[in-house]
Chain A
Amino acid sequence: MFEVTMPSLGADMEEGTLIDWLVEVGDSVEKGEAIAEVDTQKSALEIEAWSAGIVRKLLVEPGETVAVGTPIALFSAEDEAAEELPAEQPASTATATASVQADEPPAPEPTVSQTADADAAPTIQTQSQPTGKPGRARVSPAARKLAGERGIDLTGLKGSGPGGAITLADVEQAGEPRASDTPSEMRQAIAATMSRANRDIPHYYLGTQISLQHATIWLESTNATLPMAQRIVMPTLLIKAVALALEKFPEMNGFYVDDGFRQGSGIHVGVAVSLRTGGLVAPAIHDANRLSLERLNQALTDLVARSRGGGLKRAEFADPTITITNLGDQGVDTVFGVIYPPQVALVSFGNIAVRPLVQDGELRALPCVYAGLSADHRVTDGRRGAMFLNKIKSLLQKPEKLARIP
């Protein structure tokens, strides 16, 4: 017994209406003989038998419309016994699902293509821009992005670009620390930024104690040969260790913008410097991972001096990819800071003091520092954070490696 189905007679044929049967039950049909007439969207066509056989049952009535692939008749081979017909076929209705092929070719995943239905009117000759929504400031995409990264409020900025648009240069100028910044203005700015950080960034905090025994010994011997002005200070080693660790943990080095993490284009370590007048700045030491200890030491000294003296350059102020805060000189043991948005991590150090530490199964008194990590849980989790801190720890156990110029 075999089924005859509503044939597909063209690439665009989806269903057919049976006009009439040209055979009756019991008829013997030759291969190629027309058995029915079908109306398609195009015209009436004959259905032919693909094999010889005897018509056993007609499943579709004239006038019925069925989908391509729906069984319309049952045939048996000439020599096949008139076996029992299968139970009532659910097929003879137009609702039957047509010909689901066993092995459908793979279908492409729908790809998101967001094509904004922008102003459809062609602007063929004119190069003018539409005026835009009232109340929305005209800001270039690049300027808007930078302002977001730096937490700069665009309202009130005067644009110098085409059509008075606010440009990159306008935002950069606005972000520059001005001589007229008063402590209270700075306080306000810090308040706004830190509130935003606490509101938007899901922080997690980790801490670990790091032995600085090797580092202390190595610094002493290195500094012994150097003139006073060039002697390397411990914070320089700490910064270098963080910078080198970031090479292995790029997800700590960068920005969270537009609902995603964007890695920094270099390792620019912001160093938090408290100002004597009150307030705080965190200018960057650029490419800290690639500087020799001597140059890093120099940069740090210089930066602190200029921060406090008001001589920072715009770029230094602008783009740290991570911040380090060191409150050791204030006598605290541990610090867990607030991340400076849109950065995603902040490394903190407390004071360096001789503390009891078990090493190789023995209790020893060693110079130690507590290192803390505040990190953005949207970008990393605690396990990576812990590995990052441990990397800093292990780098500080081999200070001679920190001295190598890459």
Chain B
Amino acid sequence: MNQTTVTYREAIKAGLAEALRSDDRVFIMGEDVGRYGGTYAVTMGFLEEFGEARIRDTPLSESGFVGAGIGAAMGGMRPIVEVMTVNFCLLALDQIVNTAATMRHMSGGNFSVPLVIRMATGAGRQLAAQHSHSLEGWLAHIPGIKILTPATVTDGYGMLGAALADPDPVLIFEHVMLYNHKERYDSPEDWQRPVDIEKAAIRREGGDVSLITYGGCLWKALDAAEQLSQEGIQAEVIDLRVLRPLDTRTILDSVVKTNRAVIVEEAWRSGSLSAEIGMQIAERAFYDLDAPIQRVCGAEVPIPYPKHLEDAAVPQVPQILAAVREVMGRHV
């Protein structure tokens, strides 16, 4: 059978279109999602198919339209709010943290907020210090919201449906470097399928070291694992997929098997999600560790504009290789 190529962008777009077609309550709102077609061209052509009411361009009012999304969700709709870039969601942090995340709890279960917020995250497009950060781990600190980080075509498509079916607020972080990521499939049914939003996925099995990562770093980790296998090191690559609630079971089971852990994430090291994962391992799998836990994280600097500095500021394959060799006691 002839295989066709699918991009992550196409997968997300297909997921959105499917949601809009199958449920009248679903609508999209955000900056330039309509006439412009979306900053990352994810909603291109939607305005023509679904109309202005459901593909709703908003003014530059992040707090206003994220809050309106919360109200619309409480009022019976299933809004998908697009915030262009994670940095912009800081303008709506009051709504996300003080309202969406607390509503179910402070109302004693009177109201849930079935809201989906999508945003782009991460560095790599030379967008400098106000468009390139990875703040998803930071938001994963907040109880009451769920944090998804699709890294594959199937997750790009399927996580959206699962998020819409969830009664609570779900934030989806799409890494900017993944929009053009391609995978090959025999037929649409192979990638257009439902997925869970509870479990981490083991993307590659191995018995020597657990490489724990998510989002844009997944493919770097898989590249590293391929190279390591040629050195006789079998790395198990875990794609976290869901940063909150964190699937610690999968992480711990893997570490108990491999006795070694390397955590890779693009966000800054101090106070990061990788710190949380490392601590969970230290608390719950200490006696199974055969080497110190290692982390490969972003450098402690706002993302710089020049390409060589931007690349140096986020994890790359050679650093992952070095960290794995370190925990394996292989010194080059």
Contact = CB atoms under 8 A, between A and B. Distances in A.
B159 to A, nearest CB: 33
Contacts of A162: 291-292, 326-329
A142 B290 CA distance: 5
A355 B329 CA distance: 62
Contacts of A140: 259, 289-291
A168 B290 contact: yes
Contacts of A127: 294-295, 323, 326
Given A145-B287, A162-B328, A167-B329, 7 more contacts: A122-B270, A124-B300, A125-B299, A141-B288, A160-B329, A161-B291, A168-B259
Contacts of B294: 127
Contact of A142 (B289, B299, B326): B289
Nearest to A143: B290
A140 B328 CA distance: 12
B88 interface: no
B50 interface: no
A140 B286 CA distance: 9
Contacts of A165: 291, 329
27 contacts: A122-B270, A124-B269, A125-B300, A127-B294, A127-B295, A129-B292, A140-B259, A140-B289, A141-B286, A141-B287, A141-B288, A141-B290, A142-B259, A142-B287, A142-B289, A143-B290, A144-B287, A145-B287, A161-B290, A161-B291, A162-B291, A162-B326, A162-B327, A165-B291, A167-B290, A167-B329, A168-B259
A162 B291 CA distance: 7
Interface string A90-133: 00000000000000000000000000000000101101010000
Interface of A: 122, 124-125, 127, 129, 140-145, 160-162, 165, 167-168, 258
A261 to B, nearest CB: 15
Interface string B270-301: 10000000000000001111111011000110
Nearest to B271: A122
A145 B290 CA distance: 10
- Leading 9 A-B pairs by shortest Cβ distance: A140-B290, A161-B329, A145-B287, A142-B290, A141-B287, A168-B290, A141-B289, A167-B290, A162-B329
Contacts of A125: 299-300
A140 B291 CA distance: 6
A109 to B, nearest CB: 20
A145 B287 CA distance: 6
Contacts of B329: 160-162, 165, 167
A53 to B, nearest CB: 38
Contacts of A161: 290-291, 329
Interface string B104-116: 0000000000000
Nearest to A127: B294
Contacts of B291: 140, 161-162, 165, 167
B297 to A, nearest CB: 10
A142 B282 CA distance: 12
Contacts of A129: 292
